[in-house]
Structure 1
Amino acid sequence: MGHDNKPGLKRTLGKFHLWGIAVGLVISGEYFGWSYGWAQAGTLGFLITTFLIATMYTAFIFSFTELSTSIPHAGGPFAYAYRAFGPVGGYIAGFATLVEFVFAPPAIAMAIGAYLNVQFPTWDPKMVAVSAYIIFMALNLIGVSIAATFELLVTILAIVELLVFMGVVSPGFSIDNFVANGWAGSNEFSGEAISGIFAAIPFAIWFFLAIEGASMAAEEAKDPKRTIPVAFIAGILTLVVLAIGVMFFAGGAGDWRELSNINDPLPQAMKMIVGNSSGWLHMLVWLGLFGLIASFHGIIMGYSRQIFALARAGFLPKSLAAVNSKYQTPHWAILAGGIIGIAAIFSDNLIVIAGQPLTANIVTMAVFGAIVMYIVSMLALFKLRRLEPNLERPFVAPLFPYAPAVALILAVLSLVAMVYYNFLIAVIFVVLFALGFVYFKATHSSDAMQEGNEMLQVPTEA
């Protein structure tokens, strides 16, 4: 049975909704996570890192849009790699995407806990994070998801709040504060500063991580050939502007070293300017939660779809593809990702990796998955150009082959640097990949392969 004969998802999303999803999935990255990059590279060094990563993402999104519009499938990168390279390629992209989407939510949940801790100091951030998981897994389990219009609303509120933050701290902004000790804690550019620039790569990626998740809504988009390119391109431009603005204004508010290695740099930066009791600070905390929740809920939906799709295709235990008879939701997929995320929240009680804070390690693990997926996606783009020259391509990657080559080269460079500076996390990633691959090889049947080929309309040459 071909993919076209399968029940389709209702096409209700316009380009503005898709822009809201693309930015909403990522917007929490503007609120926290990036300041760990300051701890590695300093403000000036991290600016260089962010410029390199923003270049990579811009080239990647323009290239990834070709794949999304040519193969508008809810499987996203898994579908593109499967079509280009067959089941093994599908496994690599699917596993990498799964790691990205399973490990990003616990980091966001910890940030939710940290933000609420500013308002309620007696609340344990970890318990708040677990509570967030329970609430949003329950909403997904019973089929009550945040509608695309609400996702768009909270995304706009989150953007407005970032602009308010910049406006409130701007009177106290000082470029001297921003550049002081800006090279890995020193005023001098040195070998240590260069090392810090590369070590900070995961935290610059966090500014943009998961924007590609909007491709998973391709089957729900009105006229995806037109709406997806607009949403992706407008989304990456929005995020680049916000990333630069947030960094500059936070770094110029006072001693930026007090804002590194924490989960709530924006409220703490605002405290430097307006004090602890300002109404602006309380508004930042509450509206800032909209940005975190938009990303948290959206990525939970993303990981559940990935687990469900991989299990349905025989890449994970079939039980994870079960759909609840009452609510028609993939309940075991939702719960499985949540259990892993909650375990990650408490993993610092079991192991300390490289002396870094827990959130930094979780962010790094998610970024490993993302970078591997980006590499496979760009390779799939090149392969499909050669394998299927007549494939309908409503959006053609500009500056081909140069733009995707830039994205691919910078992604490989990022992966090499991340392995070098985060070797133990890289080992954990590889071990998880190997265990999953052993399961895949042991259980993936020829029937599942044939079904996958038909579902994704894989040419016989693949």
Structure 2
Amino acid sequence: MSTPAIADGPAPPGVTPTLARSIGPFQLFAYTLGGMLGAGIYGLVGRAAGELGAALWLGFLVAMVAALLTGLSYASLGSRYPQAGGAATITQRAFARPLLTWVVGLAVMASGLSSVATQSRVVAENLLRLAGLEAVPAIVIALGFLLIVCGIVLRGIQESMWVNILCTTVESAGLLLVIAVGIPHWGSADLLETPDGEGIGLSFLMTGAILTFFAFIGFEDTINVAEEARDPRRTLPFGIIGAMLVATLLYIAIAITAVSVVPWRELAAAPGPLAEVMARAAPWLPGWFYVAITVFAVANTALLNYVTASRLLFGMARQGLLPKALAAVHARRRTPHVATLALLPVLVALILAGDIGQLAAATVLLLLAVFTVVNVALLVLQRRPGEAKGGFEVPWPVPAAGALVCGALLLNRLATGDWRAPALAGALIALILLGYAVLRPKVTAEAMQG
């Protein structure tokens, strides 16, 4: 495995180019926060209100605690092993089982690619709404947007970071505006009122955690760019933990504002919950405002997932699990350009496939399984004699509890969700296993040794 570069800028002549460490602490924080503040919060508030009533703010708080366990594990692992490849790199180091590493890596990649394809279509549909050009085929706009995202990722990690900061600023400003116009209404609702009127118990808290857990997921994106961060032993934990805390404050304030302005029963029935809040608290705001913010939020999600998938592909190729050519780094731009371009035809095919909502739901199940594996991996590495410590260490009960929480959420989704998502998840795993059997990848000796 090549030694990560420290300097930024083009690689000197005759020197094999590597990824450049150029991401600062604020950029890493914004990157993690941008991965969390997707467009999902704008619809999630309504669904959560239907299940949790006016106490939906408590659901976000419980979900943050549950997600923070895994977030802390990722922060610790990222400070120990700041290398591209994320969960795949960690899995190989902990278990030295190429098949398991292959499954974990491709499961995360499937999640990222399905997200990029879905968000590309959503961006296209919202742009056409803003322009009033519904007659234009959305597929054309979606493919054009995908090419722009691919170009940004190819251009450089700094360009991707600055675009993320712009998008994160816009989506954060949208949420802060909702809070600002709604604060005068605070105190008008009973924030402990639940739909069944039976109060808040363990079942209620579990429902809240299950509903809102994925509003805090962003650490998988962050660990995949750890190799490009300056002083990742310090900045990566700061980015993950800081972003989770800020997101929690925003989500709780949004939840309190929403049920204070719109009664929770009406909020649950509203097609656009936060748009309904703004219509009542700030009727002067033009209707296109939140459509525009949605474009920024969804575009940001697509960009971050493209970056994650490209670094994951690059890291697995460097381990020997994928063709060596995918581990190439552009001498001038210092980006994994071959891996980035290799993803493009796959994404085009997914966009042309149409509605891949079931695929996205299936990859959510795979992500929960991956989070469980990563938490267990940290337990293994913590107990291994001679394993180097990171800049941020957590006690063993943290990854143990994280593994239990993610495992419980996975079992709950399997037991209560639509059968099609688990079936498709099983089919994806079968396809991944078939790919391993056909390709028989050879892991490098260094990767085998961890």
SS of equivalent to 1:34:
helix
Give yes or no for the alignment of 1:436 onto 2:432: yes
Q: Distance in 1 between matches of 2:116 and 2:55?
A: 27
Matches within 5 A, 1:335-346: 335-341=345-351, 343=353, 345-346=354-355
Please name the residue that 1:157 is paired with: 170
Please name the residue that 1:382 is paired with: 379
Contact 2:365 2:425 (C-alpha < 8 Å) held by counterparts: yes
Please name the residue that 1:296 is paired with: 302
Please name the residue that 2:13 is paired with: none
Change (3 A) 1:190 1:390: closer
Q: CA deviation at 1:63?
A: 2.0
Please name the residue that 2:78 is paired with: 68
Q: Distance in 2 between matches of 1:45 and 1:129?
A: 40
Please name the residue that 1:407 is paired with: 402
Please name the residue that 2:214 is paired with: 206
Whichever residue aligns with residue 173 of structure 2, its letter is V
Calculate the TM-score normalised by the size of structure 1.
0.80
Please name the residue that 1:95 is paired with: 106
Change (3 A) 1:434 1:404: same
Please name the residue that 2:10 is paired with: none
Contact 1:77 1:93 (C-alpha < 8 Å) held by counterparts: yes
Please name the residue that 1:334 is paired with: 344
Change (3 A) 1:262 1:270: same
Whichever residue aligns with residue 434 of structure 2, its letter is V
Q: CA deviation at 1:82?
A: 0.9
Which stretch has the larger CA shift, 72-81 or 312-321? 312-321
Q: Distance in 2 between matches of 1:207 and 1:279?
A: 26
Q: CA deviation at 1:458?
A: 2.4
Please name the residue that 2:275 is paired with: 267
SS of equivalent to 1:176:
coil
Give yes or no for the alignment of 1:13 onto 2:23: yes
Change (3 A) 1:199 1:366: farther
Contact 2:20 2:228 (C-alpha < 8 Å) held by counterparts: yes
> 1:370-414 deviations in whole A, cap 9, x for unaligned?
2112111111101112235431322212xx112222211111111
Give yes or no for the alignment of 1:123 onto 2:114: no
Q: CA deviation at 1:436?
A: 0.6
> 1:60-95 deviations in whole A, cap 9, x for unaligned?
222211111111111011100011112123123213
SS of equivalent to 2:411:
helix
Please name the residue that 2:311 is paired with: 305
Q: Distance in 2 between matches of 1:375 and 1:316?
A: 24
Contact 1:39 1:257 (C-alpha < 8 Å) held by counterparts: yes
1:54 alignment partner, one of 51, 54, 64: 64
Contact 2:28 2:222 (C-alpha < 8 Å) held by counterparts: yes
Q: Distance in 1 between matches of 2:45 and 2:351?
A: 22
Q: Distance in 2 between matches of 1:12 and 1:409?
A: 36
SS of equivalent to 1:206:
helix
Q: Distance in 2 between matches of 1:201 and 1:130?
A: 38
Q: CA deviation at 1:16?
A: 0.5
SS of equivalent to 1:293:
helix
Whichever residue aligns with residue 373 of structure 1, its letter is V
Contact 1:75 1:309 (C-alpha < 8 Å) held by counterparts: yes
Change (3 A) 1:165 1:30: farther
2:422 alignment partner, one of 408, 420, 426: 426
Q: Distance in 2 between matches of 1:123 and 1:177?
A: 42
Calculate the TM-score normalised by the size of structure 2.
0.82
Contact 1:30 1:242 (C-alpha < 8 Å) held by counterparts: no
> 1:128-156 deviations in whole A, cap 9, x for unaligned?
47624531334415734644233223322
Q: Distance in 1 between matches of 2:187 and 2:134?
A: 34
Give yes or no for the alignment of 1:243 onto 2:251: yes
Contact 2:34 2:168 (C-alpha < 8 Å) held by counterparts: yes
Please name the residue that 1:417 is paired with: 412
Change (3 A) 1:26 1:82: same
Whichever residue aligns with residue 227 of structure 1, its letter is T
Contact 1:100 1:370 (C-alpha < 8 Å) held by counterparts: yes
Whichever residue aligns with residue 149 of structure 1, its letter is W
Whichever residue aligns with residue 140 of structure 1, its letter is C
SS of equivalent to 2:21:
coil
Q: CA deviation at 1:39?
A: 7.0
Contact 1:253 1:273 (C-alpha < 8 Å) held by counterparts: yes
Change (3 A) 1:92 1:418: same
Change (3 A) 1:159 1:66: same
Change (3 A) 1:162 1:19: same
Q: Which runs of 5+ in 1 are unaligned?
A: 348-357
Whichever residue aligns with residue 414 of structure 2, its letter is V
Contact 1:22 1:211 (C-alpha < 8 Å) held by counterparts: yes
1:166 alignment partner, one of 163, 179, 183: 179
Contact 1:201 1:418 (C-alpha < 8 Å) held by counterparts: no
> 1:354-385 deviations in whole A, cap 9, x for unaligned?
xxxx5xx5653342232112111111101112
SS of equivalent to 2:225:
helix
Q: Which runs of 5+ in 2 are unaligned?
A: 6-15
Q: Distance in 2 between matches of 1:412 and 1:56?
A: 12
1:230 alignment partner, one of 238, 258, 261: 238
Whichever residue aligns with residue 53 of structure 1, its letter is A
